[in-house]
Structure 1
Amino acid sequence: MNIWAVGDLQGCCGALDELLAHPLIQKDPDCRFWFAGDLINRGPQSLRTLKQVIRLGDRAVSILGNHDLHMLAVYAGIRNQNKSDTFDAILKDKHVDELIDWLRHRPLAHYDAGHLMVHAGVMAKWDLDKTLALAEEAHQALISDKWQKNLQKMYGNEPVQWKDKLSGSKRLRVIINAFTRMRLCTPSGEMDFVAKDSPGNQPGLVPWFDVPDRKTSDIPIIFGHWSTLGLLIRKNLLALDTGCVWGGKLTALRLSDRKLIQIDCKRHGRH
């Protein structure tokens, strides 16, 4: 069974439709898709995109990204919409409750076939078992009856470093920020949420995956979130956000042999 890992969709359903119609996909009807978060927002077709992924059923695994969490917060009345948000059609859909329920039940990390998928990154102090345990901890907070209250705790930039003794809102915030927002860190692993450009222009900061002594360095990790980083393929690192929503490409990578499919998103446009 082939697995295709797919970068951020961000409401670009035209590009997703083209990917699903690609000859390599059509010739392999049993293949699976791993979506690296940010299914919706900024692009023109958030509702269509969300429904298309849901229609894939068991063929798809999706994790939560920061834009997905933002829409959950807007739905819950925790945050207001931004001018650049494009998920209003979801909030007005007659099945909005079911759509929101499906989305908030997505995990923050997925591990299978020897690969770990997260939206943004993994803190250097976390090994694989810790990563999966903390992702499940946050997942349980988001699917509980008190999910709105728990979601409200995620907003804020501090703490910037993990400590096992953290509890309550600080603990949940670090977990969610690492999985959905992290890009650059200090060499000691403290998260920075200001710099968003490609790495190399931020004195004193390194990409999260280059923090020394990272405990998941021997695990192949798939992630998105960082369009200015673009496509990056290393032995144990697969960065797949290639800026589809900004007129770049939608990237899918087959895990078995690292075969790439890239959809040119300029032809689909943003409106």
Structure 2
Amino acid sequence: MATYAIGDIQGCFEAFKELLVAIAFNPAEDRLWLCGDLVNRGEDSIGTLRWCMAHDDRIVAILGNHDLHLLAVAEGFVPPHRNDTLTEILEAPDRDAVLDWLRRRPMLHREGDWLMVHAGLLPEWTPDLAESLARELETVLRGPGYRDFLARMYGNEPRRWHPGLAGQDRLRLVANAMTRLRYLHPDGDMEFQHKCAPADAPAELIPWYAMPDRRSRRVHVLFGHWSTLGLLAGEDVVSLDTGCLWGGQLSAIRLEDSRLFQVRCQARRQPKPHG
């Protein structure tokens, strides 16, 4: 029995199936942790979601920004982006079942010494606080008020955590940190403009995982979302978005021994950072 954490699939179903062969995935014994962005921009998002639903008892799939975007588009709150590949889901005969399954996924998964989140954690958040905030947002997404959240989800404010935040501001900040975060300003404000690798970023910006006094250092954090960062295996963080969508690789790490598995992907778009 083994547990594998896998980076952003984004609908690249063929590469995902190749990776399952590479890790010799045994659905009777093994488990998969999928770190968000199951859908969008790849060639077969609906196939990816249907596979995940069929193997629901063997996977933990958390929500990424593209997954939340799909839910908002499906409700008519925002139009699809120019490069979105969501039509196959929105027009599928099992659309309602698929979307209902997706919005019931967790925002964060924590087990033992591991914590998986799609994008990042704010420096003030302990693992316990991050888990509690994730549960708050999950309760809303799974409840009758989920449309209200999706209708007002978009926006960059507030940019800094404060325990007194409430209502939609609190929920939006949690969603932005957990599904969109890459960089922080030294004062702790989130920065959403730059998607480049740290070596190419303005000197004043700090990758979220490198912030001094980050309070989540006592767990090993798995995350994706940042294709220009690529594979990062640090002392307490592992980045798994290795740009499959852009002709890079789809990556998995076996948690029991940290062994890395990768398959080469075919580019679906011109290679460039994605959100």
Q: Give TM-score scaled by structure 1 length.
A: 0.96
For structure 1, list consecutive stretches of 5 or more residues without a partner in the other structure. none
Alpha-carbon shift at residue 255 of structure 1 (Å): 0.6
2-structure distance, mates of 1:25, 1:162:
42
2-structure distance, mates of 1:52, 1:76:
23
Tell me the equivalent position of 2:272: none
Tell me the equivalent position of 1:13: 13
Tell me the equivalent position of 2:182: 183
Aligned-CA RMSD value: 1.3
* Cα deviation code 1:69-115 (max 9, x no counterpart): 00000011111011100011010011100000000000100001320
Cα separation, partners in 2 of 1:31 and 1:8, compared to 1, 3 Å: same
> Is contact 1:25–1:31 with CA below 8 Å preserved after alignment?
no
1-structure distance, mates of 2:136, 2:225:
22
Cα separation, partners in 2 of 1:26 and 1:147, compared to 1, 3 Å: closer
Tell me the equivalent position of 2:79: 80
Alpha-carbon shift at residue 203 of structure 1 (Å): 2.1
- Tell me the amino acid that sits aligned with residue 230 of structure 2: G
Tell me the equivalent position of 2:268: 270
> Is contact 2:27–2:58 with CA below 8 Å preserved after alignment?
no
Alpha-carbon shift at residue 50 of structure 1 (Å): 1.1
1-structure distance, mates of 2:226, 2:254:
20
2-structure distance, mates of 1:235, 1:58:
30
1-structure distance, mates of 2:56, 2:173:
31
> Is contact 1:188–1:211 with CA below 8 Å preserved after alignment?
no
2-structure distance, mates of 1:189, 1:152:
27
Alpha-carbon shift at residue 53 of structure 1 (Å): 1.6
Tell me the equivalent position of 2:246: 246
> Is contact 1:186–1:204 with CA below 8 Å preserved after alignment?
yes
Alpha-carbon shift at residue 55 of structure 1 (Å): 1.6
1-structure distance, mates of 2:26, 2:124:
42
Tell me the equivalent position of 1:103: 102
Q: How does 1:53-68 map to 2 (within 5 A)?
A: 53-68=52-67
> Is contact 1:186–1:211 with CA below 8 Å preserved after alignment?
no
Alpha-carbon shift at residue 270 of structure 1 (Å): 2.6
For structure 2, list consecutive stretches of 5 or more residues without a partner in the other structure. 270-275
- Tell me the amino acid that sits aligned with residue 45 of structure 1: D
Alpha-carbon shift at residue 221 of structure 1 (Å): 0.2
**1:230 equivalenced with 2:243 (yes/no):** no
- Tell me the amino acid that sits aligned with residue 236 of structure 1: D
Tell me the equivalent position of 1:142: 141
Alpha-carbon shift at residue 27 of structure 1 (Å): 6.3
Alpha-carbon shift at residue 226 of structure 1 (Å): 0.2
Q: How does 1:145-164 map to 2 (within 5 A)?
A: 145-164=144-163
Tell me the equivalent position of 1:125: 124
2-structure distance, mates of 1:87, 1:55:
20
- Tell me the amino acid that sits aligned with residue 192 of structure 2: F
* Cα deviation code 1:30-70 (max 9, x no counterpart): 11000000000011111111111222221110000000000
1-structure distance, mates of 2:26, 2:132:
37
